[in-house]
A and B are shown apart, each in its own frame.
Chain A
Amino acid sequence: MDARQIQLRGRENVLIVIMAVMALGALAAWLLAHGFMFDDAMVRWSKVLGVLGSEHIRLENLSLLYPHLPLYAMVPFYYLPGMKFAGAPYLVSVLFAAILIWLFLHHMRAQPISIFKRMLLMVLLVAHPAFLWGATNGSQLAMSMVMFYLLYHACQSMIAEHDIHAYISLALILAMFFFIDGSAVFIFVALLPMLAVVAPRRLMMVSPLSIYFILSVPFLMAVFSWAWLNWLFASDFFHFIHDPHSSYLGGYMTLFNYPWLVHYGGHFFATLLPALGYALAAYPAVFYFLFATWQDQSRFRASFVLFVHPVLAIALATDQFYLRHPIEILVLISASIFAELTFIDLSHTRSYWRVVAMLVISLAGGWWVFTSTANPAMQQWLQAFRADRVLIADQDGALRLGRWLATHRLPTMIDENSAYKVLVARGDAKGLYLSYTDRFKLALGRAIPDIDQIVVADPTSPAGKLDHISIHYPNLYAHGMPGFRLVYSGVTWRVYRRL
């Protein structure tokens, strides 16, 4: 294929990516319009709103309990008009999904297949529920998919070319993964035995430790850096593990909410079988890759890793009570299938249609797994997807309070850790004294806070149990405080204003 054709491919690819962004964006908008809101997305967006709305922007106020890169990715959207009400996380997810699609098409550009065939492949891959879930739920999963795609590509390069770039890439991807996804530790540990499969044979014979060194050190440095920052800003190296609100704990603190953890949590080997079943049911295409590469040692090794690595990661994360649902990691197989396809010669009609057939079967399997095992958040997503009008979940009244606060803009003391939905519904944090501000800390040190307005949660509610104001002034919610009058009372939340 000559340079001109490749250039033409590049232009076609841009067109396809734009179409994909539009389609995924429309789907995300549809989901939001039909009541879907993902809790993880709201927590993250509230952090961004809080920090960027502060007088002094300090990154440590994002808290060190969440990987920071997904938060940074949302920062530009804070400044875009129309973005302040919760749309940003979903748009970021869509954009990262688009990046993944662009990478896929970019790596495919040398394949002599028509634009329609490429589009068909892309549609089949994108229509997989795991991909759609990751691309539209506003969490960090879309970023993780991009990283996993690159990780798998780096593994392939390592096997095929023993290129130093592959090692550098893989080491950096693993390190960056830690700042993107709380499950990175499990992805990393699960990859360690797999390195014996992907590393060049000669290297494994001469110095097996070297590959572990070269790939592990950046990751371990990333973990150490994070621990050190925790010590620096929270006086505890392991604050990100010790704090019950930490996203690095996954489902650990609320495991009884997740049937998967209730059944398999703490059992590595017992998890392997169901994880394997989910993987095979959702991605039967993997069978084909294993079968098709059987004759080619190096390719087979890659396919093997593609399949086994996520399964091991699921088992590890479940063993440690992290994983709330296997789909959180199975999503990543979608990315590696994208990557795997770029290494398959699809110029032969037979092999192309075989792949298409396997992707169609995977679609069916994927939807079946997704619908039959969905957790509450996934069910909400499915309901919104099916266009059944879902009322916006506001059982604790946070959204209503947020809208009320948006119209009653007095300096207000509020704990954003418990009231993140309030912040999202308000749309910004201007005039709010959040838990990390000096004003908030000083106010808590007084018997009667020197603040115009105080938001407090019902101490008996789940939010109230986390709310620092409620914990510090246990009678405030029920009886108020001298010098303050009740100005708002809704489900879970009350607002007192100084007389």
Chain B
Amino acid sequence: MSQALPRIGDVLVDHGLITESQLQEALKLQRERGQRIGEVILAQGWITASEFYSALTDHFRKGRIGDLLVERGLLSEERLMEALQLQREWGTRVGDIILAKGWVRPFLFYQVMATHFDKPFVNLIDEPPDEGLLDENHYDAYLEQLFLPWRKEHGLTKVAVADLDGEIMVAAEQVIDGPIDFVVTSKFDIVWTLQKYGDAFFSEKSVHELRKRQPEYSASTVFTVPQLIFAFVVMSITLLAMAFEPVNTLIVINAFISVFLLFNFGLRALLTWVGGDKRFDNYVTDEEVANLKAADLPTYTVLVPMYKEAETLPHLAQALRNLDYPMSKLDIKIILEEDDEETIETAKSLALEGMFEIIRVPPSLPKTKPKACNYALNFARGELATIYDGEDAPEADQLKKVVAAFRKSSPNTAVIQARLNYFNVSENWLTRMFTMEYSLWFDFYLPALDALKIPIPLGGTSNHFKTKVLRELQGWDPYNVTEDCDLGVRLTQRNYRVGVVNSTTYEEANNEVHNWIRQRSRWLKGYMQTYLVHMRRPLHFYKTLGHVGFWGFQFFIGGTILSVLLMPFLIAIFIVWLITQTTVFNAIYPASLLYINLINLLVGNAFLIQLFMLSGFKRHYYKLMPWALTVPGYWFLMSWAAFKGLWQLIFNPFYWEKTNHGLTTYQVTSEVDEHSLSGEQGSAPEAKGS
């Protein structure tokens, strides 16, 4: 038989929180108003809610959540035992585990939670908050601790919370004026309500935050006035020189191009050598991953921006479920555009577990992935945050590897990039080439850039951030169509390190040329944007990056753009000369330049072929290696995309060329092996274009 609890007023007096006379006054008011004594005391403002509830914990906790769920038949005894076991391992609350596992529907769960805390349950959809109480200056605090001021009753501001712990109570008291008390609601209701009322605020923030706070890093202005003047001066001088000294001018241009390309090849050779070091392949060992204690792992936000990808959603959800990470520490945001009703409906119909949240991004321009991610970043609760695309299949231990990598990296490491590769490797020529290119990029170049302290152009997905730093930098630039590349450079400029980790996310390689051109033109346009943004103040840029970083950026980012734009002209000159044996070009190819051009042509192309082969070899994609001989053809596609990107940079700079996903006939998987390379593809999602 349970012992009767002392009365609330007596406890408060005993704790010295109120005086005897205040108690008497409260009792009088209680009789007059018919309220509960606690509400009266709180409304008088004699003590704060956090003081009140911490003194009266036993009065407001009715049994244990798990037991209550079992009592109500919402949870079986076995599952409760399992949840308790997981609680010991993961170090999170039982409720979070039950929700993350999807064992109880959130609506029912929070009702039980309300009973547990002896507080009323409110459904914010049916009983919306008083909009006047919401202060957009405090949206960040609402979202961080998941509460919102709901309504004002009897002098008390009722705060809707999804949990009632001291930290939340203190946070609420700090941002809400006057005495407060609490009601319980679902965390999803809080998120949805804040989205609903904070729509304009969050949209504005996601689009304009960077532009307002650090306009020098925003690509919203494509060409600055000094850049236009510089371009005008250079072009004028060139034209004048061409008019008076055409041959010498062409020799100078030729020399510039030749030497630049030579250095570009040189840098790539260096990167291949440095990045080939096997320590990068074993930066985090399996043993280190096994030694991680689940209880010590941080909460991880996973952002998944999707647009019209309803069919890939179930595969993505499964891939995320497969992550070897405590589910209750996962905060997965499926980011959908509000007009993408099909995907939203699919997401709803999947009845995803509690670790998934759907964030609906209201329509605004520019309609880009970085804007959507910025929007969702407002709702992120993880200490770390990452991005996956809809068709991604990360290796199961990736998040743990990243945590281990952060722990063994220098404190200024702000982001860690995982490797990207493809699961539909052998689908056709394009996917083979794309796979080799990606392997080269992520398995050789990026680790080398990290080692040499050259800014790393982050890949589109699987970059794992410290959320705090990401917010400090105002997230991604929504005007930059390769926002990750830009962010990598910005981070390096702010003296943060961009690291890499030996874990791979498998994606769907573009298997269709037009689709590939769309995607690649966007990437190259984004590189051009990034180059222009960071070269607005070249001296400052030089100062912040140092010699290696600056020149590495010039030859890696600038070199990538310039080489693909120039390649068709150089090849055209070569072919014309080869066929006609004309002597027209002799004048602009003095001996020394001829030798450099010969090195570029022979050594450069041979080197690129070899690099593609090496990438296949290192990944154990041996069957791809002969295809490396066709890399010159791939370069033509790159050039085509580059010119399209350049055209768009001038005439439609912020247009986001959407890449269609779900075109592959291969199964989404992170298990890519020799069978995959033989063209054995398993069951596949239906092909779909959009």
Contacts and interface: CB of A to CB of B under 8 A. Distances in A.
Interface stretch (A207-215, A344-352, A376-384, A392-400): A207-215
B277 A165 contact: yes
Q: How large is the interface on A (under 10, 10 to 19, 20 to 34, 35 or more residues)?
A: 20 to 34
Interface stretch (A3-11, A55-63, A435-443): A55-63
Given A59-B595, A163-B278, A210-B625, A217 B272 contact: no
Which among B273, B598, B610, B618 has the greatest number of chain A C-beta atoms within 10 A?
Answer: B610
Interface string B588-599: 000100010010
Interface in B613-631: 613-614, 617-618, 620, 622-623, 625-626, 629
Contact of B276 (A168, A218, A221, A229): A168
Contacts of B606: 217-218, 221-222, 225
A57 B591 contact: yes
B609 interface: yes
A210 B617 contact: yes
A137 B617 CA distance: 41
A101 to B, nearest CB: 25
A365 B428 CA distance: 59
Interface in B510-546: none
A164 B609 contact: no
Interface in B645-672: none
A206 B617 contact: no
Contacts of B118: none
Contact of B622 (A59, A165, A168, A209): A209
Contacts of A164: 276, 278, 614, 617-618
B277 A167 contact: no
Contacts of A56: 591
Interface string B265-303: 000000011001110000000000000000000000000
A218 B628 CA distance: 12
Nearest to A171: B610
A37 to B, nearest CB: 31
A163 B614 CA distance: 12
Q: Which 8 A-B pairs have the closest CB atoms?
A: A207-B622, A221-B606, A210-B622, A225-B602, A164-B276, A213-B625, A58-B591, A214-B617
B674 interface: yes
A161 interface: yes
Contacts of B622: 206-207, 209-210
Nearest to A57: B591
A167 B617 contact: yes
A211 to B, nearest CB: 8
Contacts of B603: 225
Contacts of A209: 622, 625
Interface string A349-389: 00000000000000000000000000000000000000000
A232 B594 CA distance: 12
A85 interface: no
A227 B618 CA distance: 30
30 contacts: A56-B591, A57-B591, A58-B591, A59-B591, A161-B278, A164-B617, A164-B618, A167-B614, A168-B272, A171-B610, A206-B620, A206-B622, A206-B674, A207-B622, A210-B617, A210-B622, A210-B625, A213-B613, A213-B617, A214-B610, A217-B606, A218-B606, A218-B610, A221-B602, A221-B606, A221-B609, A222-B606, A225-B606, A229-B598, A229-B602
A237 interface: no
B216 to A, nearest CB: 40
Q: How large is the interface on B (under 10, 10 to 19, 20 to 34, 35 or more residues)?
A: 20 to 34
Which among A58, A209, A217 has the greatest number of chain B C-beta atoms within 10 A?
Answer: A217
A238 interface: no
Contacts of B674: 206
A102 interface: no
Interface of B: 272-273, 276-278, 591, 595, 598, 602-603, 606, 609-610, 613-614, 617-618, 620, 622-623, 625-626, 629, 674
Interface residues of A, dominant DSSP: helix
A214 B273 contact: no
Contacts of B273: 165, 168
Which among A58, A161, A163, A225 has the greatest number of chain B C-beta atoms within 10 A?
Answer: A225
Given A168-B272, A207-B623, A217 B609 contact: yes
A168 B606 CA distance: 13
Nearest to A226: B602
A221 B603 CA distance: 8
A228 interface: yes
Contacts of B277: 165
Given A164-B278, A168-B276, A221-B609, A214 B625 contact: yes
A213 B614 contact: no
A229 B591 CA distance: 14
A217 B276 CA distance: 19
A171 B591 CA distance: 29
A58 B622 CA distance: 42
A494 B602 CA distance: 44
Contacts of B629: 217
Contacts of B610: 171, 214, 217-218, 221
Interface in A155-213: 161, 163-165, 167-168, 171, 206-207, 209-210, 213
A209 B624 CA distance: 11
Interface in A413-467: none
Given A206-B674, A207-B622, A207-B623, A214 B614 contact: yes
A232 B602 CA distance: 13
A214 B616 CA distance: 10
B215 to A, nearest CB: 44
B278 to A, nearest CB: 6
B295 to A, nearest CB: 37
Given A56-B591, A210-B622, A217-B609, A168 B614 contact: yes
A229 B598 CA distance: 9
Given A168-B276, A206-B674, A214 B591 contact: no
Nearest to B272: A168
A228 B625 contact: no
Contact of A214 (B272, B276, B613, B620): B613
A171 B611 CA distance: 12
Given A56-B591, A57-B591, 8 more contacts: A167-B617, A168-B272, A168-B273, A209-B622, A210-B617, A214-B610, A214-B613, A225-B603
A221 B613 CA distance: 13
Nearest to A56: B591
Nearest to A162: B278
A163 B625 CA distance: 18
Contacts of B595: 59
Nearest to A202: B620
Contacts of A229: 598, 602
A210 B625 CA distance: 7
Nearest to A172: B610
Nearest to B603: A225
B269 to A, nearest CB: 9
B576 to A, nearest CB: 15
Nearest to B276: A164
Contacts of B620: 206
A167 B614 CA distance: 9
Contacts of A167: 614, 617
Which among B272, B591, B629 has the greatest number of chain A C-beta atoms within 10 A?
Answer: B591
A57 B606 CA distance: 27
Nearest to A163: B278
Nearest to A58: B591
B380 to A, nearest CB: 37
Which among A59, A161, A167, A210 has the greatest number of chain B C-beta atoms within 10 A?
Answer: A210
B350 to A, nearest CB: 40
B613 A217 contact: yes
Contacts of B623: 207
A342 B292 CA distance: 40
Contacts of A225: 602-603, 606
B421 to A, nearest CB: 16
A58 B603 CA distance: 19
B413 to A, nearest CB: 25
